[in-house]
Structure 1
Amino acid sequence: MPEILCLIPARAGSKGVPRKNRRDAGGIPLISHTIRAARAATTPSAIVVSTDDSEIVAIARDEGVEAIVRPGAYAADHSPVIDAVRHVLATRAEQGASRADVIVLLQPTSPFREPGDIDAAIALFLASGRTPICSVYQTEDAHPARMYRIVDGHLESLMPELASVRRQDLPPVYHRNGSIYVFGPAEVASGRIISDHMIPYVMPVTSSVNVDTEIDLLLVNAILEERAEAAK
């Protein structure tokens, strides 16, 4: 069986939503939703949180998963996530852990992925001959045919050939939701998690909320409150 590592990158800094990864989301820290989904998935061999935040280290350990402290050089606003991945893999190698054959990157800002999504994305990766997987959702009104640049004070359509087409007649397009990336050692070596040959794992828009702003966090809490009321 392949060694499958779920890696949850959760640095302390966030400009859009301060302390984002440990903000309250339905009565628990936002990151706890991702940790619990990973723990409930059946496929992963190990789960690791990578962070430079001592409070997130404590949350991870309280949730029963390993936390690896990330150096500040890998936790700045401009730091690529691949640096955190490489640091975790190197640290685990020093600790004597098995080499990861599959890396599953789970952003803690996506609280609505299900354990089954994680297992299904991993299965798709293995069945595809280990081609990288990226989770997406189908856009509706936020279609590039409805988008414009402003050039010399005028609107310039990104897709002029489709600018007048009815929404329901537009060709489907998909948006990365940041929820699940599955890749292997080859992508780590190349330094490219996102590439032109990824296979999509399509998720519903209702599972694709990604917390980048305070409004997103309000939406997450509203959805969680509604779910809690419905469960009573």
Structure 2
Amino acid sequence: MKPKVLAIIPARGGSKGVPRKNIKELAGKPLIEWTIEEAKKSKYIDRIIVSSEDKEILQVAQKFGADVPFVRPANLAEDTTAGIEPVLHALEHFSDYEYVVMLQPTSPLRLVEDIDGCIEQLLQENAEFCVSVCEVGQSPYWMYTLDSSTKMQPLLKQQTLITRRQDLPKVYTLNGAIYLANIDLLKQTRNFITEETIAYVMPVERSYDIDTEEDFKICEYRYTNL
């Protein structure tokens, strides 16, 4: 049977790197609209809610088809608020869903095929947690720390230094696009990253996470030059 899936889009109003980032226009649409549109195409998501303390963001989200069942408390929208807290707060309002998928609006290049692919992978592998990742461009096997005299120390200890890029192990990083979990277990762990979490690999070209004005320009360029 198809599980009941709740999508939560957390979008606070106090962005520092890019002011009013979540409703700033990207290629002619408010940033948050790109995520709402893809979530609405999902064949698994039953309801899409936006969590924000900002009334303007909530109005924009509602305009484009997301539910806004509450206003997030201001103390859960501070710079120091852990990302899991708005999700756990939202889950206090719902009890009839099995899984929750957090979709950050700062990943506008993410497609519905990524969202549904992540859900399908979790179900097929009987997993309880799944997050999106992408392959890194700069390998940590070629990274170093420097001591006080600027002597180099390998970040990852190796018996033999890998000198050819072709021989480097593939390494992945969280791309911030999709966080999926069994709700009951998420309430226990209070974290999407556990020892049981599996990875859904996304293409690098859809893995931009907007944090700066430069990120914004890169994503806009990709959309306007498709």
TM-score by shorter chain over 0.5:
yes
| Distance in 2 between residues matched to 1:159 and 1:186, nearest whole Å | 32
Which of 138, 147, 151 is 2:147 aligned to? Answer: 151
What is the rounded CA distance, in whole Å, between the counterparts of 2:98 and 2:153 in structure 1? 46
How large is the RMSD of aligned CA atoms in angstroms? 1.5
Contact 2:35 2:108 in 1 (8 A): yes
How far apart in 1 are the matches of 2:192 and 2:156?
A: 28
Higher helix share: 1
CA shift for structure 1 position 150: 2.1
CA gap of 1:86–1:159, structure 2 versus 1, over 3 A, is: closer
Equivalent residue number for residue 108 of structure 2: 111
User: TM-score if structure 2 supplies the norm length?
Assistant: 0.92
Provide the C-alpha distance between the structure 2 equivalents of 1:164 and 1:102, rounded to a whole number of angstroms: 42
Tell me: CA distance 1:163–1:214, structure 2 relative to 1, closer, same or farther (3 Å): farther
What one-letter code is carried by the residue in structure 2 that aligns with 1:172? K
Question: What's the CA shift for 1:205?
Answer: 0.2
Task: Give the Å deviation of 1:190.
Answer: 2.1
Do 1:157 and 1:163's aligned partners in 2 also have CA atoms closer than 8 Å? Answer: no
CA contact (8 A) 1:82 1:188 kept: no
Partner Cα separation in structure 2 for residue 139 and residue 163 of structure 1: 19
Residues in 2 aligned to 1:167 and 1:20: alpha-carbon distance in whole angstroms: 37
Cα distance in 2 between the residues matched to 1:87 and 1:158? 37
Look up the SS of the partner of 1:91 in the other structure: coil
Question: Which residue of 2 is the match for residue 4 of structure 1?
Answer: 5
Question: Helix, strand or coil for the counterpart of 1:126?
Answer: helix
Q: CA deviation at 1:159?
A: 2.4
Gaps of 5+ in 1: 94-98, 228-232
- Residues 184-193 or 1-10, more deviating: 184-193
Q: CA deviation at 1:199?
A: 0.6
Gaps of 5+ in 2: none
Q: In structure 1, the residue corresponding to 2:175 is in which secondary structure?
A: strand
**Residue 163 of structure 2: aligned partner:** 165
| Separation (CA, whole Å) in 1 of partners of 2:133 and 2:61 | 26
Report percent identity of matched pairs: 37
2:199 is matched with 200
Residue 177 of structure 1 is matched in structure 2 by 175
2:117 pairs with 115, 120, 129, which one?
Answer: 120
Contact 1:17 1:212 in 2 (8 A): yes
Helix, strand or coil for the counterpart of 1:172?
coil
SS at match of 2:93: helix
Distance 1:205 1:163 in 2: 26
Counterpart for residue 81 of structure 1: 83
Q: Distance in 1 between matches of 2:35 and 2:221?
A: 18
